[in-house]
Each structure stands twice: as C-alpha cells, then as structure tokens.
Amino acid sequence: LQADDVESKIREIIPPGFCTNTDDFVSLLEKEVNFKPFGMLLHTYSVHNEEAGEDITYQIYKADMTCPGFREYHERLQTFLMWFIETASFIDVDDERWNYFLVFEKYNKDGATLFATVGYMTVYNYYVYPDKTRPRVSQMLILPPFQGEGHGAQLLETVHRYYMSSPTVLDITAEDPSENYVKLRDFVLVKLCQDLLCFSPGKLMQGFSQEMVMEAQQKLKINKQHTRRVYEILRLRATDMGDAEQSRSYRLDVKRRLIGPYKKKQRELAKMRRCLRPEELTNQLNQIDLNMQHEQLEESFQQLVSEYRRVLERLAQA
C-alpha cells in the first residue's frame, strides 16, 4: 500500500516553515524563551492547579495587526481552528475592524519567564448607524489542555469589560453561537448583571421591564434578547419553586415568551381559514396538532429550567 500524502493536505492549512521531524521541532523550542505576548495587557488572574499543587498565573491581551510579528503568529494560531471547530474558517486579517484577544499561561522555567498559548477570540466591529459599533464574537477557542478550567469565562468577561468602557459600542453579540458558547455567555452575563439594582429580587418578581433592558445595555452592553435570558435565570434564583403560586407565576412568565412561535402558527392558521379552499385547509390543519404544541412548549420550558439551574450552580461555586 502507498502511504497518503499527509504533508500536501497540511500545506493547505498551515503556513510554510512547519517542522517535519522531531529534532528540528525540539531545536526550535529553545527559542520559546524569547517569546512575549502581543498587544496590551487587559487582565491577570490565577487558577489553582491540583496536580501541581499551586496557583498558576494567566494573562489576557488585546492585539491587532499593527503589533510587530503578530500577523505571522496569528497565521499559525488560527490553524488550530481547523482541528477543533467543525465550521471554522480563516478571516480577512487585512480588515482593520477585527480585534484579537489572547490568553496566555505565564510560568517560570530554569529562571526564565515563559508564556504558553491557552486560547483566543476574534471580534468584528460592525457599524451601527449613525455613530455606534456592534462588536460580534466570531471565533473562540480554548486549547484542549486548558479546557474545563474557567478560561473561556475569564476571556468572555474580559472582552465584555473592555467594550463596556467605550461610549461608541451599542451592544455585544455573537455570530452563530454554539450551544456551549450560549451556556458560557449565560454564566458570564448573569455574573455581570446580578449586582445591578434593576435585577434585585423585588424587581425580578415584578416581571421583565424596560428598565432592565436600558440598564443592561447602557452599563454592560448587553442586548434585549440576552437581557431577557439573564432576567429569567435570576428570577428562577429568586423564586421558591416549592411555592405553588410563585412556581406558577414563573412558569407562565417564561412560557409567554416561548409561545411566540406557536402564536405565529395560529395567525397563519387564521389566514388559511380566509384564503384556502376546504380541502386545502383540512390538509394544513392535519399538520397542526395543538396538543402536540402544548407538549412541546412544556418540554421546552423544562429543558430551559434545567439549563438555568446549571448556570446558577456554577455561579454559586464561582
């Protein structure tokens, strides 16, 4: 059997100059002592490592293509997306609207301070008429050896805090977020919002309000849709689900939002009654099972509450 030409496939993704034997790779590691993170330091934090029995220091930086050497570094870094994110694609680095946020582990070895790449995030700054921008998270990756240690939450919170200080930023969104990213975002946004006055237990029990929307957007750059999820999570924490009246009030409040798509179907049905012939109407009605819709609504509610409880559990441990 003839071996596959692996190198030709790798060349389609990895920039020229990659190593093809172990000796060359090991010799290049000696140059790691000269590596320094690119850009501006935004945040430093520590994570306790059980295996090492000590706290390890991590730093988050913001960089752009004007940083000397960053373009070449990013060309190599972005190749990791292809191995770990199924729908990943390379971005146009010549577009100046991109911002780059990087996480590094800072450690000492043989008396030298070294930095290991932990992960990174790319954010595109969309224009919003007349004088605002809307940063949109495009890609986010924490490398496998560092996953499950809270670095994603640290990175996302740092990015939010960076944009919160800018008066020209309207709100922060994400491009086609994955299920795991939504869970991460829920945790970070609830953590940021829980101390706002509009999310006090008394106001939460009064229902979702425009005050919450305005304060979350003005102070934390959170849009209305995400603010609603934050409200539902924090109201769940403030609700005694063992109390029949409180539980019923919470359930109805969440279901009023979830029922939106079903109400749309009902409006479509009303139009059908006016426009379709009897045999066409019967065919459409057969596809709309109201009992099934109620079952789906209850299933969606229970799944959502389960997700919200996991966010609250993580928040309690933070």
The residues that are catalytic are 175
The radius of gyration computed from the CA coordinates of the chain, to the nearest angstrom, equals: 25
Helices 210-220 & 224-238 angle (0-180, nearest 10): 110
Phi-psi region of 39 (alpha: psi -120 to 50; beta: other; left: phi over 0): left
CA distance 139 to 176: 10
CA distance to 10, 171, 212, 230, per residue, from 224 (Å):
43, 9, 9, 10
CA distance 272 to 270: 5
Decide the pairing of beta strands 173-174 and 132-142: parallel
Local structure of residue 8 (DSSP, 8 states): H
Closest to 254 (Cα-Cα) out of 210, 309, 301, 299: 301
Helices (H), the chain: 6-11, 22-29, 70-77, 79-84, 151-164, 179-193, 201-204, 210-220, 224-238, 244-258, 260-275, 278-285, 290-317
Q: Which amino acid is at 106?
A: K
* Three-state DSSP state, 231: helix
The dihedral built from the CA positions of residue 37, 39, 44 and 47, taken in this order, carries a sign that is: negative
